[in-house]
Every structure is written in structure tokens, then in C-alpha cells.
Structure 1
Amino acid sequence: MVSTATKIGSFTFDNCLMNAAGVYCMTREELLEIEASAAGSFVTKTGTLNARPGNPEPRYADTLLGSINSMGLPNHGYQYYLDFVTELQNNPDSKPHFLSLVGLSQDETHTILKAVEASDYKGLIELNLSCPNVPGKPQIAYDFETTEAILTEVFTYFTKPLGVKLPPYFDIVHFDQAAAVFNKFPLTFVNCINSIGNGLVIEDETVLIKPKNGFGGIGGDYVKPTALANVHAFYQRLNPSIQIIGTGGVKTGRDAFEHILCGASMVQIGTALHQEGPAIFERITSELKAIMQEKGYETLEDFRGKLNYLA
């Protein structure tokens, strides 16, 4: 029997596929749709200290090869999502979940994480270090000193299973530097990648989205090679105890297969989920299982990280 079951830390998932933060996760209703689908889990919208309306519309657009967005972190506030995942975990049939969080300042981040630490929530937590769409705010994870300072303080008080969502890195030395920072901490996972920041898509003579004069994060087919490179680079460099969630350009079973081949333990779907809806999980799971069967793989561990190089 071919299985797409997987583990992150001490948590077991019946399927390795799930949504990416930002897609089908704004409301309880959307999250329940993912919960009821073939997905193995869901991640919540990245929750900030207070609710945020986000950037002005239009702030998302589908494109020929994917999507562009500058959402500006619209969300109902971390407490909304914390309450929901804590409620769900009391249901014996519930899947393990990921609670995504970030503060708009270091102080806010610590305020949120301390509240989660004190809560009854027993699932996984994702600290989003890769928010490219808040005007005037740089991506935290591109600043290695700040990243190390934040994580150093976080692990003085935080004991629950924590991972980080990362932006794409583009230079080998940055993979080395980032991994050196992450290997200092008891992280449960890293999630590679968020959208490629500050792309620009034009139709006729006009940009597609309103915020930042059209600049926004790029997702979909455009980003898969960059996502695979980040997944594999960190698979090669991180302590084996830090697992990898692969995100970027997944719309077929083959795409998911490649992320796992590069070292991912779970695979998130963003742009394609937005375009196709939660039924996508059943389709991609079937396609992934067909590839595994054809190659004689029964579990993800049979091929995870076993990318071949040219001699």
C-alpha cells in the first residue's frame, strides 16, 4: 500500500499535503473546508497582535504562470486563530494543526508567543519571518542578526514545537549563514518558501495590483525552481532534527514529488489552491501516489531527500 503519511516533530499526519498560510485560512469557515478535505493538516492565516484589514484592493491577481499579491497581512488577530485551533484539538477526530504568527515588532512577537506558551494549545506553531508585503517593514529573515536575536529570546521562554516560515534565499553563502543561525536553536521545522518578494506584473500598460504601485509577492509556476533549491539547500545544511516543509509552485503530484525528493517532509499548496479550491488535495494526492507506485515507493521516506546529481 502506497502511503503519503508523514511526521513533523512528534506529530503524525495522514497526508503530507496542506494549505500554505495566506490561502483558505482567513476564517474558521475556510479552515474547516481544509480540515474536511484530503489535506493532512492546515495552517492558519498569520495572526498579528491585533486584527488587520490589510492593504487596499485589488491586492491579489492570478497571472499566466501563477499569481501576484500584496495582501498586507489581513487577519482577525492571533487570538481568533489560537482560540479556534485550541477548540479543534479537543475533537478526537481532529488533525494536528499549525498556528502561524508574527508581530509587527519584536515586542509584539514576544507578546504573542508568550500568550501561546501560556495557552492550552498543543499543536505546532509557525513564526512567520517572511512577510514581504507590509510597507516600510523589511523581511526579518534577511537580517540574520535580528533573526538570531529574536530566536535567542524566544527560546528563553518558549517550549512548544516551533518552526519558522522563510523567504527565498538566492545566494549559497546566505544558505550557509541562515542554516548556521537556525542550527543553534531547537526548531521543529523550517518552511521554504514564502513568495518571491517585489515582483511586478503588467497587463497592457497597467500594473495588476494596487498596493506599492503594483509590487507584490510572486507565487505559482514562477517560483518552483527557487522553492526546490531552498528546500534542498536547507535539507543539506540543517540538523536532521529540523524538518522542512516545502512550499512554492505545487499544482501537480509531480511538483509535490519533487519537493519531497529535495527533502521536504510536508508540502504546502498556495496559488493552485486559491485557483482550484480544496478539492485539489484529493487530485494531487492521487497523482503523487501514482508516481510512487510507478517507481516502487511505498512511503515518503523511500525517496525523501534522495535527489540524484550528475556524475
Structure 2
Amino acid sequence: MAGALTTTFLGHQVSNPFLNAAGVLCRTPEDLLQLASSVSGSMITKSCTVEPREGNPEPRYAAAPYGSINSMGLPNLGFEFYKQFAVEHRGKLLFISVSGMSMDENVKMAKDLLPVAKETGCIMELNLSCPNVPGKPQVGYDFTTMREYLQRVSSVYDAPFGVKLPPYFDIAHFDQAAAIFNEIPQVAFLTCVNSLGNGLVIDVDTETVAIKPKDGFGGLGGRYILPTALANVNAFYRRCPTKLVVGCGGVYSANEAFQHILAGASLVQVGTALHEEGPQIFQRVVDEFALLMRAKGYNTIDDFKGKLKTL
């Protein structure tokens, strides 16, 4: 039955639709080696900047009752490290996440990554939704700026790439964002969603916040965000028929992964649960998913992808 989980993404065959969420188990060489040797169908690197970054002060991640809160601040080893990893990587499909501190940084990294992408088959994901860098607003919430980012990046990157999106909450914003993505042919997929920005988790016993940066404000992940993630996946699946959607948010088991794919996701990222359980989670979810498909009588993922019923 495991073969039934095989799917294709932008012409690449993957053994299953599961991968890590950018930011989880993907910053260091050791992290990436663990992902490469896991049973995930593909993998993505930590969102990188041109220069290495230490990120925000610790503690910057904490478990919470229904998931997690983090304010990492883009700790990464710098673009050149991840680009070289792409050059040397063999095996499963690799996504390279870039999240420059400015438009010019993103354009520079895209331009430098293009020949590597064409040579190795790696795929760029442009993160326009990092909510945890002090003083840096999310580009994904400024539609005029987001259009300019995508126009400039696509002018130097003539290969398919994706965009990591923040969660949207208004139907009009779904419409406006989708119109921008539909204008840019190179935007081939949309990853929905990044963490739910600027939540606050409070410890009643100590009467303190859970993390140090930004006075405790940080991005929520895990079960907190599943319904919001599903809504964004389905909203963009409906509005961007020529684009693929990657689901991210609240996946702990085959049940949530099935919901993402039913809503329209082609691949499904695992974040908080991967952080909690480790890379062995991919074997568990793959096994569960095969059983769920069998129980429902589905032979391939395409039998149910995007076929969510409304009342």
C-alpha cells in the first residue's frame, strides 16, 4: 500500500506527500542529515538570510497546551551554506527556503540559487511571512509590497518557485492575494500557512510569559492553527487553479494530513509535532495514512485531493 502514497510535485516523483515545515529540524548539517535519512518524501531547509544569524535570545520556543509558541528570529547558517547543501545533496526532493531581510537580499539569493536549482532540481520557497523578526513586518500582509517582491524575484528567477504565506482571515484578502499570485507565472505553489503571528502564552504558576523575545509574543503552531491552515489551503486551492498548494499547520497524525489533502494540498508539512516527536514521526504518519486510505477505499492520493464536500 505504501506505493499508493507516491505522488508528483512539479514533475518530481516523491514517495509520500510529507516533509518538515521550514524551521523545524533543518538548520544545521546534523538536522538536515536526519531529514535526509528519514522516510519523509521531501525536505526543506531553514529559511535563510544572506549572512548567518544567531536569531532571538533564548528561550525562544516553548510547548503550549495545544501546540507551541516560538519567536526564533531566523537563526540560520547563511545562504551559502544551504546553497552548498543543495549542490551536494542527493536523494529526495529538496526545497530551499529563503527569507531575506530586504527585497534586495531576496533578489540576490534567488539570482544566485537559480543555476543550482536548474542543475540539481531543488526548488526555492520564498518566505514572505516570518512574524518573529523585531521591527520587520510580514511582507505577506502588505499586498503592494508583496507584488513588488514577486515581480522582482521572478524577473531574475525563471524557474518555478513557491511562496510561504502567513495565515489570512478575511475573504477579501484571499481574493486580493490570489490575484497577485495568479499574475506571476513562476509562482508555482503556495505554502499555507506560517505560524499564527503574535500570540501570547502565559504560565499561571510563575505569572510569566513562555518565551523571552518580544515580551513573550510569538508565532503559534500545532493544534491551535489547524482550522486556520485548512481554510487557507482550501481558499487558495479554489482561487489559484494553476498553482499547487502545500499544507502546513496542526499535523500530528494521518487524520490532519488527510484533511489538508482533502482541502487541496499536494504536499503536507509537519512542524510542531516533528519538533516534539522527532523524524520518526514520518514513518508513523506514512503507516497511518496508508491504513486510512485503505479503509476509505482510495488507491491514490489524487482520488481525494481537493475533493472536499460542502453542505
Q: What is the CA–CA distance in structure 2 between the aligned matches of 1:108 and 1:34, rounded to whole Å?
A: 27
The structural deviation recorded for 1:11 is 1.4
Matched AA of 1:43: I
1:118 is displaced (CA, Å) by 3.8
> Which residue pairs with 1:223 in the alignment?
225
Identical amino acids, percent of aligned pairs: 53
CA shift digits 1:108-153 (9 cap, x unpaired) = 1111111112444431110001000000111001111111111112
Match of residue 98, structure 1, among 95, 100, 104: 95
Partner-residue secondary structure (3-state), 2:140: helix
Alpha-carbon distance between aligned partners in 1 of 2:241 and 2:310, rounded to the nearest angstrom: 22
Alignment check: 8 A CA contact 1:224 1:250 kept: yes
Q: 5+ unaligned residues in a row in structure 2: which ranges? A: none
Structure 2 counterpart SS, 1:231: helix
Report the alpha carbon displacement of residue 161 of structure 1 after superposing the two structures with TM.
2.3
Which residue is 1:75 aligned to?
76
Show the counterpart of 1:184: 183
Structure 1 position 160, deviation (Å): 2.3
Partner Cα distance (1:160, 1:275) in 2 = 35
Q: Give the aligned partner of residue 159 of structure 1.
A: 158
Query: Corresponding residue for 1:293?
Result: 294
Cα contact 1:133–1:216 (8 A) shared by 2: yes
Aligned to 1:168: 167
Provide the secondary structure at the position in 1 that maps to 2:93.
coil
Q: Check conservation: 1:8, 1:189, Cα contact below 8 A.
A: no
Task: Give the match for residue 21 of structure 1.
Answer: 22
Code of the residue aligned with 2:198 in structure 1: it is: N
Where 2:268 maps in the other structure, the secondary structure is strand
Greater alpha carbon shift after TM alignment, 217-226 vs 141-150? 141-150
Equivalent residues of 1:196, 1:223 under 8 A apart: yes
* Aligned residues: CA RMSD: 1.0
CA–CA separation in structure 1 for the residues paired with 2:93 and 2:19: 11
> Quick check: 1:123–1:161 contact (8 Å CA) kept in 2?
no
Q: Using the alignment, how far apart are the partners of 1:304 and 1:48 within structure 2?
A: 34
Matched, 1:193 2:190: no
DSSP-derived class of the 2:111 partner: helix
Which runs of 5 or more residues in structure 1 are unaligned? none
Structure 1 residues 59-97: Cα deviation after superposition (integer angstroms, max 9, x where no partner): 000111100000000000011011012111xx3xx1110
- Mapped partners of 1:167, 1:153: distance in 2: 20
Partner SS for 1:219: strand
Which amino acid is the alignment partner of residue 198 of structure 1?
N
* Partners of 1:128 and 1:162 in 2: CA distance: 11
Say whether the 8 Å CA contact 2:43–2:94 is kept in structure 1.
yes
Q: TM-score, normalised by structure 2?
A: 0.96
For 2:164 and 2:135, the matched residues in 1 are separated by 20
Matched residues in 2 for 1:234 and 1:161: separation? 17
Matches of 1:121 and 1:146, distance apart in 2: 31
Looking at structure 1, the residues matched to 250 and 64 of structure 2 have their Cα atoms a distance apart, in angstroms, of: 13
